[in-house]
A and B are shown apart, each in its own frame.
Chain A
Amino acid sequence: MSNDLTRLTAAELAGLVSKGEASAVEVTQAHLDRITAVDDRVHAFLHVDTAGALAAARAVDERRAAGEKLGPLAGVPVAVKDVLTTKGVPTTVGSKILEGWRPPYDSTIVQRLRDAGTVMLGKTNMDEFAMGSSTEYSAYGTTHNPWDLSRIPGGSGGGSAAALAAYEAPLAIGSDTGGSIRQPGAVTGTVGAKPTYGGTSRYGLVAFSSSLDTPGPCARTVLDAALLHEAIGGHDPRDSTSIPAPVPDVVAAAKLGATGDLTGVKLGVVREFAGEGAEPGVTAAFRDAVDTLTKLGAEIVEVSCPHFKYALPAYYLIAPSECSSNLARFDGVRFGLRVGDDGNRSLEEVMSLTREAGFGPEVKRRIMIGTYALSSGYYDAYYGQAQKVRTLITRDFTAAFEQVDALISPTTPFVAFPIGARTSDPYQMYLADLFTIPTNLYGGPGISVPCGLSEGLPVGLQIMAPTMADDRMYRVAAALESAVGTFTPPAL
């Protein structure tokens, strides 16, 4: 029975629980058992909250027994990226500098997950402070791709994506600053959606780059992602940048798309991303996906977004600049790691030693880049210029969406690469986010949905929509999914 439960979708599990055909405790225990069985090889989790999960599951079962009407995801386990604060449960952001920190408060997303009756299994691995595309920059070891344990699961949210692909959880939360939900989704054969910036609350999301960070849903099916999106989305008065509007009806859009009919939908292929820079196998899978979408009734046109080629350099000025400021608070004074406080060293020395010991090399690299880009005399040339590029990229999107309903591209230029293959050259790692970064700079939504395999490894299709039109991408993604199916990795 246990193994069966882990293979079900979130929608199916919620159905079983609400009908009393499985208890939330049984569902939770099945996933905890699966974690015990496989996570020593996958290493998706940094912390498993067995007691908390079972208590939450029991509460759901009690509510059901008391005759309460349960929500559409009640009793469904969810894995949470370790970037979101969880009250009393360790939150490390994949960094040594927060080792052992137990936040005194829940992030809004986690609070909403609790309100929805979902069961938090634990916290998933990630590149330190969400900076990376492989989880190799986690201070707590690399996560392994369930499709091939010698390969990376993508990043920064590789833990969440791997937990889904390894059937350790049916749902997971990620955060996407430059592709950290979508790229892991693509390389693990799962679905990852980055909502419109401001469509999901950042309160309690440990900041990397405030103007780009977007928490969002990860799942194995488009409908599950939409259900999770609906549960966590919507206005939050604790986040000034949160949009005061209802969540677009993503669940209805996913159901509409599942009918497999895209008649009347016009999709744009981004010319600049259509071939160059991507592996041949990825390009081939993408072309197949375009054919499939055409067969489903969509009209496909080519659209030019001439400034997208500047997105990567602009991103690598804006994100590090904001990070250099956001990460200043990690100084050993109030929480987390403190090094060198022996009574003889000055405050500056203790701060410096703490940060030296607590941050990994990629984080330090970005703090240095950002500090430089914001310095007096360089601001206009770097941060200021990057913001102008950001405006031009936004204009590219706006112009494109006057012609088409949504844009499509491969999610990432290459399939899961072997662990260690790109760590020696930061730029090779940065290229993983080449196609996902423009969406973050614009602030619109993007989703990655599995579209095929290349040499036995999953390839993702990215669908990008206008801001607050998240429903459009769900419709297209669900239609594609209805045609190509879901992808199951080899048994672990």
Chain B
Amino acid sequence: MTTTLPAYDEVVARFEPVIGLETHVELGTNTKMFCGCPTDFGGAPNTRVCPVCLGLPGSLPVANKAAIEATIRIGLALNCSIAEWCRFARKNYFYPDMPKNFQISQYDEPLCVDGYLDVEVNGETVRIGIERVHLEEDTGKTLHVGGATGRIHGATESLVDYNRAGIPLVEIVTKPVTGTGALAPEVARAYVTELRDVIRSLGVSDVRMEEGSLRCDVNTSLNLPGEEWGTRTETKNVNSLRSVERAVRSEMIRQASVLDAGGRITQETRHFHEDTGDTTPGRSKETATDYRYFPEPDLVPLAPDPTWVAELKAALPELPRLHRRRLQEQWGLSDLDMQSVLNAGAVELIEATVAAGATPAAARKWWLGELSRRANEAGVELADVGATPSQVAELQSLVDAGKLNDKLARTVLEGVVGGEGTPTEIMTNRNLEVVSDTGALTAAVDEAIAANPDIADKVRGGKTAAAGALVGAVMKTTRGQADAKTVRELILERLGVQG
């Protein structure tokens, strides 16, 4: 069935969207949620396991205090109330990557409730309500092999790796977000971005969507103005910030087309496809399993000491939004300039470069210029371009010291990105340093004067602008490794002309 999809403008002219976001964050604790196994990424399958996270008969969970602390800090940063008493609950369903065939999670007694996060979209502040923040354990990973697609259909074998089973996972659920109209997709993206920045600022997770330490499910529904909310769908497999925005937009358009055709929206899970930008149905929630939640009897209730919670609250770092505002002032940037820094994902990189000794202007120039260009070409995030803030600061210090000119500095940076070493090493190894030995430079200048007597005469006659040609000749013989300003001064000096 091929239907012509309505234009987005038409959709938002007629329908009002309601969105909601469920975000899962893998905490960066040293050990798992309920046992002492390490959480480090990338071990050979089933090497980060013990009787507890394998769910062997007789084993028992013991809650990880660091994970509870991290969850409370996330809750506090999101302006939530912290429960004085709450319990873990078992969520029962059969799946082979879940060792006990139940997940230890939280149900009707989450650790943090009722908060908000302010995000900025087009200069406007939008307050996103936070329903709850709770703590649970991650599942293992199933790998389907033997088929063409890596999916279960057509696979001959399924392999399970339990290294990830039991890693602490925080779930953050928003309240329904209404009234954002055409901006709904951007609001969704801005929320996940801001949430990521907040959690990163707390240092409790590396929050990388590509690696799955930040995962997002997007709920979307449409309703006619003044009418009840429509049936929602839950879109999974949304693996980048850009996809969050695209998933909401495409789901709004799809739902509008279904409603326009007189159909009804099925409450279901849908999968987002990065390549096509649309969603396809997954399992239907109308036949969903009954999870038979009940309080986890193997764990004692959680009762965080209010004094401890107050201490955690007092020790929270500056929130990213406020932090950015302060940086903008320190760096003396206009809103527009700050926005381009934000869009490039360069705030923390510039901040770190400045901390390593560069001026804000120089740091911004490198990250937004040469390095952004290279990141775009390579299709990677700016932070993954291959240069570190300290390397950029070192590069700039070489420029400031006159050892590198702009062109040479770019060449050195190419070496840095290529992993050749530090800027100083590359400069030395590739012999890229500005020729500052006056003897050699004077010889080159005298040679250029001798080779171009006509031009030399013009300069002597007062046409100092003509010296540019001589500078060019010197730069050519020194293969660009001279400082143009020094060369010019030397030429004028040798020709007896005041600069």
Contacts and interface: CB of A to CB of B under 8 A. Distances in A.
A251 interface: no
Contact of A240 (B54, B58, B299): B299
Contacts of A5: none
B24 interface: no
A359 interface: no
A403 interface: no
A98 interface: yes
Nearest to B35: A238
B34 to A, nearest CB: 9
A331 B294 contact: no
Given A240-B60, A333-B96, A328 B294 contact: no
Given A328-B100, A329-B100, A374 B58 contact: no
- Of the listed residues A91, A239, A321, A329, the one surrounded by the most CB atoms of chain B closer than 10 A to its CB is A329
B87 to A, nearest CB: 12
Interface stretch (A43-51, A279-287, A375-383): A375-383
Contacts of A107: 58
Interface in B286-311: 290, 292-294, 297-300
B298 A210 contact: yes
B292 A333 contact: no
B292 A84 contact: no
A85 B59 CA distance: 9
B63 interface: yes
B55 interface: yes
Interface string A202-225: 111111011100000000000000
Nearest to B93: A328
A245 interface: no
B160 interface: yes
Interface residues of B, number: 29
A371 B292 contact: yes
B55 A347 contact: no
Contacts of A105: 51, 56, 58-59
A325 B103 CA distance: 10
Given A328-B101, A347-B96, A207 B58 contact: yes
B99 to A, nearest CB: 7
A93 B57 contact: yes
Interface string B49-73: 0010011111111110000000000
B158 interface: yes
A93 to B, nearest CB: 7
B57 A104 contact: no
Contacts of B160: 333
A351 interface: yes
Interface string B455-493: 000000000000000000000000000000000000000
Contacts of A333: 96, 160
Contacts of B158: 347
A103 B90 contact: no
B101 A331 contact: yes
Contact of A325 (B58, B61, B90): B90
B57 A91 contact: yes
A304 interface: no
Contact of B92 (A202, A205, A328, A335): A328
B8 interface: no
B102 interface: yes
A331 B59 CA distance: 16
Given A240-B63, A374-B92, A321 B294 contact: yes
Contacts of B293: 374
Contacts of B297: 209-211, 241, 322
Contacts of A103: 51, 56-58
A238 B92 CA distance: 23
B55 A329 contact: yes
A334 interface: yes
Interface in A178-206: 202-206
A264 interface: no
Interface in B84-131: 90, 92, 94, 96, 99-102
Nearest to B50: A105
Nearest to A346: B152
A490 interface: no
Contacts of B102: 325, 328
Given A331-B101, A333-B160, A351-B94, A84 B58 contact: yes
A203 B59 contact: yes
Interface string B265-298: 0000000000000000000000000101110011
A238 B58 CA distance: 11
- Of the listed residues A103, A202, A240, A371, the one surrounded by the most CB atoms of chain B closer than 10 A to its CB is A240
B4 to A, nearest CB: 39
Interface string B380-423: 00000000000000000000000000000000000000000000
B310 to A, nearest CB: 25
B58 A205 contact: yes
Contacts of A237: 62
B58 A334 contact: no
Contacts of B62: 237-240
Contacts of A348: 94
- Of the listed residues A209, A238, A324, A376, the one surrounded by the most CB atoms of chain B closer than 10 A to its CB is A238
Contacts of A238: 60, 62
A245 to B, nearest CB: 14
Contacts of A206: 57-58
A204 B50 CA distance: 13
Contacts of B290: 375-376
B99 A329 contact: yes
A331 B102 CA distance: 12
B72 to A, nearest CB: 18
Contact of B294 (A203, A330, A379): A379
Interface in B399-457: none
Nearest to A198: B300
A383 B57 contact: no
- Of the listed residues B58, B90, B299, the one surrounded by the most CB atoms of chain A closer than 10 A to its CB is B58
Contact of B292 (A203, A205, A325): A325
Contacts of A379: 292, 294
Interface string A91-127: 1010000100101110100000000000000000000
A347 B96 CA distance: 8
Given A210-B298, A329-B99, A331-B94, A376 B292 contact: yes
A98 B57 CA distance: 9
- Of the listed residues B57, B60, B160, B293, the one surrounded by the most CB atoms of chain A closer than 10 A to its CB is B57
B294 A325 contact: yes
Contacts of B101: 328-329, 331
Contacts of A205: 58
Interface string B13-27: 000000000000000
Interface string A305-348: 00000000000000001101100111101110000000000011
A331 B293 CA distance: 20
A239 B60 contact: yes
Contacts of A204: 58-59
A383 B294 contact: yes
Contact of A241 (B56, B58, B90, B300): B300
B60 A334 contact: no
Given A328-B94, A329-B101, A347-B158, A334 B54 contact: yes
Contacts of B100: 328-329
A348 B289 CA distance: 14
23 contacts: A84-B58, A85-B58, A91-B57, A98-B57, A103-B56, A104-B51, A107-B58, A203-B58, A203-B60, A204-B59, A209-B297, A210-B298, A240-B61, A324-B292, A328-B94, A329-B99, A329-B100, A333-B160, A334-B54, A334-B55, A351-B94, A374-B293, A379-B292
Interface of B: 51, 54-63, 90, 92, 94, 96, 99-102, 158, 160, 290, 292-294, 297-300
Given A203-B60, A322-B297, 17 more contacts: A98-B57, A103-B57, A105-B56, A105-B58, A204-B58, A209-B297, A237-B62, A239-B60, A239-B62, A240-B61, A240-B299, A240-B300, A241-B300, A333-B96, A334-B54, A335-B57, A347-B158
